[in-house]
A and B are shown apart, each in its own frame.
Chain A
Amino acid sequence: MKVSARQRLRFAIFATSAAWFSCAVISRSQSSPISSASPVFREVTDEVGRTVRVPQPVNRIVSLAPSLTETVYALGLQDRLVGDTDYCDYPPDAQKKTKVGGGISPSLEVIASLHPDLVLVTKSFNRLETVHSLDNLGISSYATDPHTIEEIIASSKKLSDVLGVPEAGASVAADMQHRLADLQKRLGALPPKRVLFVVWHQPLTSIGKHTFIADTLRLAGAVSIVDAEQDWPQVSLEEVARLQPDFLVFSASHSDAVAPAVDALAALPGWNIVEAVSNRRIAVISEAVNRPAPRIVSAIEDLARQLHPDAFMEKPESGKEKLQKENPAPNPPPAAHSSLPPDGAQAQMVFPGGCA
């Protein structure tokens, strides 16, 4: 009697749960991802090697990174941008766009409700799971992954092509290259300043050699004292004191009041032995340095101005001529990536990535 009741029970439980589960599965299997109604697609390969089917034309864009939002604005496509992240604050108009959450865990349903033709992601800011989730929902996403300034330029150009405005991309790229070439002429063969780029001071975190920020420093006439393989290495104060950087470089976005933060830093035991701190040799540049977008060139110019004020004493024209006479092919700072063309005419060169 007892046994049969037990068996009946087990069966009942099994049946109930099986029914519950199969109901759920059936309701799921009947649904299929609803793709955009656009009939025309174009296949492109993004910067992480995925083949992406991009609906044509791209009229509704969602950006999942501040740098991509800035790039979209730089390309003049702000009217097609229908959503961005909580961190997209530049240009100020970007704050008014529909917010889809943060870059790490955006709301998939808000993205879906915006019916984007294309979602822009970047490998350093977004997660692979987000891309997989978008794939499962039939939403096209395009990933960028620039590691140098040259790659940022190429990436902007390629993105402009994917978004259907190659001319805008070419002009943005030409402007960036022109300004960088000018800068290299000014800096000429000046020895690079040894700097510590402070990503965060508690714990002290700097940048690795494969980040675009390392390349930013090189182009601004500086070299990072940290030479790590990791992208965001934690650095010990002892090591900083041993290497004695000429300058500490901060970006303004990490603290609204950098100056008090530096004072606080100088007051901390240990930091005084870093000469750059005790002598207040601090460079503060805008948060643009953290974003692989066209605006990074202004951060490079700003940093170069603070690190090498002498190079900016003369008027640009005379400086250019003088430097050209002295050194027709100026040696860029010792860096593998700073192979930017030395003058404006060559700056029009097309990067191989730009014609996909």
Chain B
Amino acid sequence: MKPLTLRRLLLQCSILCVILFLVVVVALKFGAVPVSLYALGRDLLRVLFGQSSQISSDYGLIIVNIRLPRILLGMIVGASLSVAGTSFQALLRNPLADPYVLGVSSGASLGAILALIVEPHLSLSPLFAALLTPLGAFLGATATIAAVYFLGRREGQIDSTTLLLGGVITGSFLSAIILFLMSTLTGSLRGLSFWMMGELSTPLQKSVYWFLGVGFLLAAGAIYTTASDLNLLLAGEQEAMHLGVDVPRVRLVVYIAASFLTGLAVSVSGAVGYVGLIVPHVMRFIFGSDHRTLLPTAAIGGAIAVIMADTLARTVVAPTEVPVGAVTAVIGAPLFIYLLRRRLA
């Protein structure tokens, strides 16, 4: 492991930020309605200088009110899932861990759906009512990861294969309950494809973006404080404990924060899969497995990946849209098989 310097980290992050910016520009340009690069550049400058009133309504509505919020949502969802995946991989010492593969996303979906069912029966203030869905998703995610963690333990040690199998089966079980609920209930619950595959197509209230952003920064920040401990945990729980790591505390902080990030992402975008698997692998391959570098680069990388996937989802069969989770799964599932085979070899 090369010694970490602030300069190198900043350099790596800025390179990724430049890529992120380029991807955002591409995502802003492409869509069902053609927008010229010139008009895009002119309008973006106007937004920057606070003259958005001058934007022609033709592009203004599309770029500023449809594409930009969606890209922002994709950023937060991608970063959250990617950081959650990185954390689960470190904590479970399993490179194939991912919120979707482990069933945590399905647990979050179920929690969110239950919250949506219960909400009209409780007389809550609008603020609490709005927070109930992410809270349900968070509780669902936490309960699922706890269940999968205990399923994956054999003789006091986590067994990778049992863990993955336990996660996949738990996810399938929870999906079945979601299917059951969806086919018996009607009403204003979001569609099935949203919860099972993930979608970014619905713009949200402005306040929700604030909640998402602050929630992401707090949870990701909490995980980042354990970055060095996670590095030591890679050698094994016993070894880390001997090196002075407070393993139970790290475990608690990271599980809760990662479940929170998963719940956050799922409550606004449904179960988008494999982002937490692919992105940390790519980042580890490029920048190495030091979590002090890996966590921030995975966050930016996750944002890039989801924006790219969603741009594809919006454009491949435009004007009809594909759920973004279908795109990430088409790319992610084969990669999962590849990584699994390579690990077994």
Contacts and interface: CB of A to CB of B under 8 A. Distances in A.
Interface string A12-36: 1110111011001101111111100
A119 to B, nearest CB: 13
Interface in B32-68: 32-33, 47-48, 50, 52, 57-58, 60-62, 64-68
Given A33-B65, A108-B201, A137-B203, A101 B32 contact: yes
Interface string A93-112: 00000011110111111101
Given A24-B72, A28-B69, A99 B319 contact: yes
A129 B47 contact: no
Contacts of A129: 190-191, 201-202
A32 B50 CA distance: 12
A204 interface: no
Given A25-B213, A34-B61, A108 B72 contact: no
A109 B203 contact: no
A280 interface: no
A113 B33 contact: yes
A317 B199 CA distance: 58
A9 interface: yes
B61 A137 contact: yes
Contacts of A37: 57
Contact of B292 (A9, A25, A31): A9
Nearest to A112: B61
Nearest to B34: A113
A21 B58 contact: no
Q: Is the interface of B mostly helix, strand, loop or mixed?
A: helix
Contacts of A349: none
Contacts, number: 136
B31 interface: yes
Contact of A14 (B48, B190, B210, B221): B221
A8 B10 CA distance: 11
Nearest to A11: B6
Given A10-B224, A129-B202, A137-B203, A34 B47 contact: no
B33 A110 contact: yes
Interface size class of B (residues with CB under 8 A): 35 or more
Contacts of B224: 10, 13
A127 B225 CA distance: 42
B209 A28 contact: yes
B201 A112 contact: no
Contact of B320 (A5, A28, A86): A86
Given A107-B32, A107-B321, A10 B65 contact: no
Interface in B9-32: 9-10, 13, 17, 31-32
A132 interface: yes
Contact of B52 (A17, A30, A106, A115): A30
Contacts of A10: 221, 224-225
Given A34-B60, A34-B61, A28 B228 contact: no
Contacts of A339: none
A5 B319 contact: no
A86 B5 CA distance: 55
B249 interface: no
A325 interface: no
Given A25-B213, A31-B47, A107 B206 contact: no
Given A14-B221, A17-B220, A27 B68 contact: yes
Nearest to A136: B203
Contacts of B123: none
Contacts of B10: 12
Contacts of B206: 28-29
Given A5-B4, A10-B224, A14-B221, A113 B210 contact: no
A31 B52 contact: yes
Interface centre among A21, A102, A132, A230, by most chain B C-beta atoms within 10 angstroms, is: A21
A14 B5 CA distance: 16
Contacts of B61: 33-34, 112-113, 137
A80 B31 CA distance: 25
B17 A133 contact: no
B187 to A, nearest CB: 9
Interface string B202-220: 1101100110010011001
Given A10-B225, A28-B72, A137-B65, A20 B203 contact: no
B104 to A, nearest CB: 23
B75 interface: yes
B125 interface: no
Interface string A127-153: 111001100110000000000000000
A6 interface: yes
Contact of A21 (B62, B66, B203, B217): B217
B320 A109 contact: no
Interface in B272-330: 292, 296, 299, 314, 318-321
25 contacts: A9-B6, A9-B292, A12-B6, A12-B10, A16-B17, A21-B216, A24-B213, A27-B68, A28-B206, A29-B206, A34-B60, A101-B321, A106-B319, A110-B33, A110-B319, A112-B33, A113-B33, A113-B58, A128-B188, A129-B201, A133-B201, A136-B65, A136-B203, A136-B205, A231-B186
Interface of B: 4-6, 9-10, 13, 17, 31-33, 47-48, 50, 52, 57-58, 60-62, 64-69, 72, 75, 186, 188, 190-191, 199, 201-203, 205-206, 209-210, 213, 216-217, 220-221, 224-225, 228, 292, 296, 299, 314, 318-321
Interface of A: 5-6, 8-10, 12-14, 16-18, 20-21, 24-25, 27-34, 37, 86, 99-102, 104-110, 112-113, 115, 127-129, 132-133, 136-137, 230-231
